[in-house]
Amino acid sequence: MTLFGHKAPLTAQFGLAIVAIDLLVAVFGPWLAPYGQSQSVGDTWGAPSAQMLLGADQIGRDMLTRLIYGARTTIGIAACTTILSFFIGITLGFTAAVGGAWADILLSRLVDIMLSIPQLILALIILGVFGSSIPVLIVTIAVLDSTRVFRLARALGKNLTVLEFVEVARMRGEGMWWVISKEILPNAMAPLVSEFGLRFCFNFLFVATLSFLGIGVQPPYADWGGMVRENAAAINFGLLAPLYPAIAIALLTVAVNLIVDWLLSIDARPSGAQAEM
Amino acid sequence: MSDDLVLHLEGLRIETIKGVVLVDNVDVTLKRGEILGLIGESGAGKSTIGLGAMAYARAGCRITGGTININGTELRASTAIQRRNFRGKSIAYIAQSAAASFNPAMTLMDQVCEAPVIHGVMTRPEAEAYALRLFRTLQLPNPDTFGARYPHEVSGGQLQRAMAAMAMSCRPDIIVLDEPTTALDVTTQIEVLALLRDLIREFGTAGLYITHDLAVVAQIANRIMVLRHGKMVEVGDARQVLEHPHTPYATALVNERREATHVPLINPPEGAPVVLSVTNVEAGYRTGMPAVKNVTVTIARGETLAVVGESGSGKSSLARVVAGLLPQWRGEVKLMGQTLAPSLAQRPRDVLRRLQMVHQMPDVALNPRQTLEEIIGRPVAFFFGRSGKTNKERVRELLRQVGLPQDFATRRPGQLSGGQKQRVCIARALAAEPDVIICDEPTSALDPLVAEEVLKLLRRLQDELGLAYMFITHDLGTVRRIAHRTAVMLKGEIIAQGATADIFSPPFHPYTEKLIASVPEMDTTWLDQVLAERAVA
């Protein structure tokens, strides 16, 4: 695969292959899975067999089926969260950069307050108060994550607003929306896309963490973090059960990072900034 | 090889990793105590050769052919460690931007003494003693304590001299000077130039002097090499190249530079109505010190007012006040008799349309992600509501007006040269059909021959459209070519104002005289004459 005339190195090709497989599994999961996700078909931690390629989980559900359904929930939630988080973060970040001193002070200090509280604790409180349904989970993680996106978007916006083509647009009397969408956003795309990959990883791990703690995705829905927790006890008996979802988490994280590394190596600088040097 | 020969480059060829040839078949010989001036426009390969003489290629480039011989040692055949021992010790480098070349966290003395101690040429006390001697030779203020300062505590001209001291600290045989005075004001440039020349003479160093300004090189070089597109165009004795160049390209460069001081001055148009008037304006930034003090200027229709001054004189701040980017504290700005709101946000759209600006750096004045059609078409749509086909027609008409081909409409700024980009900026300003265009150093980032074309374009447009220009510049040569009237600024105030012909003829204001006298002339004896005159005064 090539992007802007840059061929993907072997590592990035590996990453792309893993992500592609995970996405296919997430989209077509119900057609691929041999059983239903809450269907009990074997013994507790039953050994792998022709019927259950990876064995069974703690209550006899097919591990492979759970992994396939888990891809759907975990990746789906992480993707929704990251998209929402970028929408919030970029909008507010650019507003702070372009909208004048007061908007900047107000938004930046608000974000500082949120950043000063540990993310996990804040998530625990919010989910504890509102209950842990999937929409609440997505909005909560997105809002917490958007503070990081805000920081990046604001910094990029600040760097770009001082460039003269933005000054020209302002001298013409263009509104803030034009300045943000036509002058700043296209030039900030490269670093934002790279950051999107990284934040997707963090969000995906965060969902897994919350599920592991029991306040993320609720049973009987399968998700990788929750599966690790449910099967954790199997380790005591020398069984592989919790390692399958753990490996799925690790593989996807590594794969996304390999792709991001490649994107960063192409060009992560905001365009226009090159001319300043 | 004679003993005098310290540097010998033969058939030097430098390419980028993708195979684009930057420097092709260049030969340089340098004897002890001799200075060779490398002249050319940007992209001619001057700096690449300067670094190539140290057997160094920038990231993404590599030396693919030729020999690099310093004091009889072939550097290309040496190991990386051997080459490193040469750099700094036998051959040293002075960069254009001194501010970017110093470590802000180390004192100047530490940085000057670093190289001789690392190379084992001197012990630290010896190096310090030698540095003091260099500081004295370079006439730095309080040489005994100068070394204890940090880079941000000294001025730009002093920093440039400190870098010369750093380069000379190992007593190198060869010194590469890469545009060492380009970033300095003219009045500072003359001092630094004289000191660099004395330094090189006193220590018998050989030098490669890289510059785009023929008049500067005339003062310092024994021989001159003219470069274009990485190839040698002409090499010869300095006086011979300046007075009787053989090749057409060298002739064009020399003539362009000569004209700068000899163009006939243009007289202001008579009886034209005043378009822009600035009255008793005072403005500044948050610190409370005004950057512009009590300034009054007027510009008539079809007239160009040049605002001249050195960096920090407040000329750009004045432009920003007029543009509404820096609201004034006091005074008023009027456009066609109508008082303008101090801040951009309060000015009606029609006022914004009639007052346009062309910036110094065309690279950052154009959005790299938009096509020329979008860039030029936007003001057409924004101010006149023209869209679709009529918009495209207007864009093509504007491109034709600024002398660019029609099919450029679909290009992006990255696909254009510097001069073409500046033409696009002018087209974008014209698209608004303005009365006044503020030109903030529009030619100072361009090569001389390209800048000349842009000035011609501006003059032609003025004749055709009756535009008024407020032309901000530090270059007196440019003023002579474009301005009907001139205002000279110093420390935020206008100290002289009038028809350009009057400003440039006696009686002068003392500062104007100093400014005019500091512009180097293409005469190899000019620097000595100026220094002699100053000594008498």
Q: How many other C-beta atoms can be found within 10 angstroms of the C-beta atom of residue B42?
A: 14
pLDDT of amino acid A3: 64
Distance of residue B363 Cα from the nearest chain A Cα, in angstroms: 6
Residues of A with CB below 8 A from B358's CB? none
**Position B1 confidence tier, pLDDT thresholds 50, 70, 90:** very low
**Position B429 confidence tier, pLDDT thresholds 50, 70, 90:** very high
Answer yes or no: do A186 and B369 touch at CB < 8 A.
yes
Answer yes or no: do B364 and A186 touch at CB < 8 A.
no
Q: Which of B323, B366, B410 is closest to A183 using CA atoms?
A: B366
CA torsion through residues B528, B531, B533, B536, sign: negative
pLDDT of amino acid B288: 72
Residue A270 has pLDDT above 70, yes or no: no
Q: State the best of A168, A170, A187 to mutate against chain B, taking most chain B CBs within 10 Å.
A: A168
Residues of B with CB below 8 A from A276's CB? 364
Region of B353 on the Ramachandran plot (φ > 0 left; ψ -120 to 50 alpha; else beta)? alpha
Cα–Cα distances (Å) from B172 to A177, B7, B159, B164, B387, in that order, read: 58, 12, 20, 12, 64
Question: End-to-end alpha-carbon separation of chain A, Å?
Answer: 31
Token duo for residue B274? 């005043």
Contacts of B88 (CB under 8 A, 6+ apart): B115, B118, B119, B170, B172
Distance of residue B527 Cα from the nearest chain A Cα, in angstroms: 33
Q: Which of A171, A182, A187 sits opposite B368 (nearest CB)?
A: A187
Q: How far apart, in whole angstroms, are the C-alpha atoms of residue B89 and residue A148?
A: 48
Q: Long-range contacts: B48-51, Cβ < 8 Å, 24+? A: B48/B14, B48/B22, B48/B23, B48/B230, B49/B9, B49/B12, B49/B14, B49/B23, B49/B208, B49/B210, B49/B227, B50/B93, B50/B176, B50/B178, B50/B208, B50/B210, B51/B93, B51/B176
Q: Which of A165, A171, A173 sits opposite B367 (nearest CB)?
A: A165
Q: Which of A172, A182, A272 sits opposite B368 (nearest CB)?
A: A272
- The pLDDT tens digits of the residues spanning B453-484 come to 899 999 999 989 989 999 999 888 888 888 99
pLDDT of amino acid A276: 31
- The pLDDT tens digits of the residues spanning B256-308 come to 877 766 666 666 677 788 999 999 999 988 777 888 999 999 999 989 999 99
Q: Which of B324, B364, B367 sits opposite A276 (nearest CB)?
A: B364
Residues of A with CB below 8 A from B368's CB? 187, 271-272, 275
Is there a cis peptide before residue A220, judged by omega within 30 degrees of 0?
Answer: yes
pTM: 0.80
Q: State the best of B316, B355, B369 to mutate against chain A, taking most chain A CBs within 10 Å.
A: B369
DSSP code at position A269? S
pLDDT of amino acid A274: 38
Q: Which of B324, B365, B382 sits opposite A165 (nearest CB)?
A: B365
Answer yes or no: do A163 and B323 touch at CB < 8 A.
no
Q: State the best of A159, A161, A164 to mutate against chain B, taking most chain B CBs within 10 Å.
A: A164
Residues of B with CB below 8 A from A265's CB? none
Q: How many other C-beta atoms can be found within 10 angstroms of the C-beta atom of residue B457?
A: 17
Answer yes or no: do A275 and B357 touch at CB < 8 A.
no
Answer yes or no: do A168 and B325 touch at CB < 8 A.
no
Quick check: A136 and A130 in contact, CB under 8 A? yes
Q: Which of B324, B356, B359 sits opposite A164 (nearest CB)?
A: B359
Token duo for residue B249? 């390209």
Answer yes or no: do B364 and A165 touch at CB < 8 A.
yes
Q: Is A276 exposed, middle or buried (0-12, 13-18, 19+ CB in 10 A)?
A: exposed
**Higher local confidence (pLDDT), B169 or B155:** B169
Residues of B with CB below 8 A from A186's CB? 367, 369-370
Question: Which residues of A touch chain B, with CB atoms under 8 Å apart?
Answer: 163-165, 167-168, 170-174, 182-183, 186-187, 271-272, 275-276
What average pLDDT does the segment B84-96 reach?
Answer: 86
Residues of B with CB below 8 A from A164's CB? 359, 361, 364-365
Question: Which residues of B touch chain A, with CB atoms under 8 Å apart?
Answer: 323-325, 344, 347, 349, 352, 356-357, 359, 361, 363-370, 378-379, 382-383, 428, 432
Distance of residue A194 Cα from the nearest chain B Cα, in angstroms: 18
Answer yes or no: do B323 and A182 touch at CB < 8 A.
no
What type of residue sits at position B271? G
User: Which residue's structure tokens are 């969000």?
Assistant: A203
**Position B379 confidence tier, pLDDT thresholds 50, 70, 90:** very high
- The pLDDT tens digits of the residues spanning B34-54 come to 899 998 887 788 888 988 888
pLDDT of amino acid A267: 60
Residue B487 has pLDDT above 60, yes or no: yes
**Higher local confidence (pLDDT), A57 or A20:** A20
Residue A272 has pLDDT above 60, yes or no: no
Q: Which of B323, B361, B428 sits opposite A275 (nearest CB)?
A: B361
**Position A5 confidence tier, pLDDT thresholds 50, 70, 90:** low
pLDDT of amino acid B263: 62
- The pLDDT tens digits of the residues spanning B105-120 come to 899 999 999 989 988 8
Answer yes or no: do B382 and A276 touch at CB < 8 A.
no
Answer yes or no: do B325 and A183 touch at CB < 8 A.
no
Quick check: B366 and B378 in contact, CB under 8 A? no
Quick check: B22 and B163 in contact, CB under 8 A? no
pLDDT of amino acid B256: 80
**Position B16 confidence tier, pLDDT thresholds 50, 70, 90:** confident
Answer yes or no: do B367 and A183 touch at CB < 8 A.
yes
Q: What are phi and psi of B419, to 5 degrees?
A: -65, -40
Task: Give me the interface pTM, i.e. the ipTM.
Answer: 0.77
Residues of A with CB below 8 A from B340's CB? none
Distance of residue B353 Cα from the nearest chain A Cα, in angstroms: 7
- The pLDDT tens digits of the residues spanning A11-23 come to 989 999 999 999 9
- The pLDDT tens digits of the residues spanning A209-261 come to 888 888 888 877 888 888 888 888 888 887 888 888 889 989 998 998 898 88
Rg, C-alpha atoms of chain B: 25
Q: How far apart, in whole angstroms, are the C-alpha atoms of residue B430 and residue B325?
A: 20
Residue B97 has pLDDT above 80, yes or no: no
B418 to chain A: closest CA residue: A275
Answer yes or no: do B361 and A171 touch at CB < 8 A.
no
Residues of B with CB below 8 A from A275's CB? 361, 363-364, 368
- With a pLDDT cut of 70, the percent of chain A lying above it is 94
Token duo for residue B91? 């051959």
Q: Which of A168, A187, A276 sits opposite B369 (nearest CB)?
A: A187
Distance of residue A187 Cα from the nearest chain B Cα, in angstroms: 7
What average pLDDT does the segment A22-30 reach?
Answer: 88
Token duo for residue B112? 């000057």
Chains A, B: CB contacts within 8 A come to 54
**Position B17 confidence tier, pLDDT thresholds 50, 70, 90:** confident
Number of continuous H segments (helices) and E segments (strands) in chain A: 11, 2
Residue A204 has pLDDT above 90, yes or no: no
Distance of residue B423 Cα from the nearest chain A Cα, in angstroms: 15
What average pLDDT does the segment B486-499 reach?
Answer: 90
Residues of A with CB below 8 A from B357's CB? 168, 171
Pairing of strands B485-490, B304-308: parallel
Q: Which of A165, A171, A186 sits opposite B366 (nearest CB)?
A: A165
pLDDT of amino acid A277: 26
Q: State the best of B355, B364, B380, B433 to mutate against chain A, taking most chain A CBs within 10 Å.
A: B364
DSSP for B363-381, please give it. Answer: HHHS-TTS-HHHHHHHHHH
**Position B322 confidence tier, pLDDT thresholds 50, 70, 90:** very high
